[in-house]
Amino acid sequence: MTTRSGSGVFYDGVTSARHDVTVDAAPGALRIRAADGNTLAEWPYDEIETVSAPKGVLRIGRARNAVLARLEVCDPALAAAIDDLSIPIDRSGRSERRLQRKVVLWSFAATTSLVIVAVFGVPAIATHLAPLVPYRIERLLGNAVDAQVRSMLDDRKSGTSFECGQAESEKAGRAAFERLMGKLAMAAALPIPFSPAVVRRSEANAIALPGGRIYLFQGFIDKSETPDELAGVLAHEIGHVARRDGTRSVLQAAGLSFLFGMLLGDFVGGGAVVIVAKTVLQSRYSRAVETAADAFSVDLMIRVAGDPHALAVILKRIAGELDGWSKLLLDHPETKDRIAIIEQAPRGTPQPLLDNPQWTALKRICAQAGTR
């Protein structure tokens, strides 16, 4: 097989410098060369992954690499060659279709022992199936339930004003929020885009829907004293997205019949969407699931040079309030143990995630209307 070469832009992950490079899609590995011909990086195809990027740009990095190096390719022919050589990169959708076939096979196998599965096996099967659900289907599921979830949250039917950051006086706060979320998303480098929103709810809570939709309640912003505390909460929810906990809980609650509906593209039939929406809003994750999301938050905060202990700080503050525990703490078990585990993480020397004017603006992202 011949090597296809083309131009690209390389960020080494150590500095912010942009490097114009030559990219060789060689049979054995992807090779990135500087203008003088020196090799800057060589990535095996089975170790590269896509990162969120604008349309027409293939942005990739090396999976499980401590250095957040990134390569951007705009040449369609070169991007197609990389896609053909790398199984993890799936611009053509072939891997998604293979995964979908696996889900179907798993589902038919499960129905052969329906009674046993219904009583004992649904949670275990859902745990195995959730990672196999194609991201395309998970996004469709998230889009389908989003409107219902939003309607349930917006019990005053305030419409578009329910989401903070829309009014002119709130746009600076929206920009600061997007900056903070952008840093976390870039470091997380998940193969699914995030759609975060701040909504006018006074509870200190946050919800991650299947497919990357994250709702952060105003109450968490009000109770956060630093950008790192808020970032720690967002990183925790990103952890749920990364582990596909929302999809797993939906499969466990709605059962295999809903999974068949997913595979047939039926996301709106009957009361399925209402059931799924209530499942997402009322999910009470196990201690193991919450601890795993906490660990993801700690790791992600370290990667963005933030304070990995910040999540423990805000959880401790909320738990110590005398006027009752928030819904977050009621839904998240063993809070004291979680705090103790988070505080064991190495702290290092955190760098500011937002400057003072940006943080002040973010604190006022819901300033236009009062909380409920």
pLDDT for 276 equals 65
- pLDDT, tens only, 244-299: 888 887 777 665 556 556 555 555 455 556 666 766 676 667 788 899 999 999 99
pLDDT number for residue 49:
86
Averaged pLDDT, 207-214: 89
Give the dihedral of Cα atoms 140, 293, 289, 97; nearest 10 deg: 30
Query: Tokens at residue 148, please?
Result: 């219902």
pLDDT at res. 273: 63
Encoded tokens for 267? 């996301």
3-state DSSP helix/strand/coil % of the chain, to nearest 5: 50, 15, 35
3-class SS at 339?
Answer: helix
Question: Mean per-residue pLDDT for 29-58?
Answer: 89
Strand partners, 59: 51, 72
Answer whether residue 119 shows pLDDT above 90.
no
Output the CA torsion sign for 139, 233, 329, 333. Answer: positive
Distance CA 23, CA 5 (A): 5
pLDDT score of 336:
82
pLDDT for position 85: 86
Tell me the CATH number for domain 4-85.
2.30.29.30
Least confident segment among 85-94, 99-108, 239-248, 289-298: 99-108
For the chain, how many helices (H) and strands (E)?
A: 16, 10
pTM of the full predicted structure? 0.63
Residue 185's pLDDT is 93
Q: How far is CA 305 from CA 187, 290, 300, 346, 352, in A?
A: 10, 22, 9, 12, 8
Please tell me whether residue 368 adopts helix, strand or coil conformation: coil
Q: What is the mean pLDDT of the chain?
A: 81
Cβ atoms of residues 280 and 209 within 8 Å:
yes
Judge whether residue 93 has pLDDT over 60. no
Q: pLDDT per residue over 125-141, tens digit each?
A: 666 666 677 777 778 77
Q: Which residues contact 191 (CB under 8 A, 6 or more apart)?
A: 49, 50, 51, 135
Hey, where are the domains in the chain? 4-85, 129-363
Pairwise CA distance, residues 188 & 181, whole Å: 10
Residue 242 — left, alpha, or beta (φ > 0 → left; ψ -120 to 50 → alpha)?
alpha
Q: Report residue 276 as tokens.
A: 């799924």
DSSP 308-320: TTHHHHHHHHHHT
User: Is 290 within 8 Å of 237 (Cβ atoms)?
Assistant: no
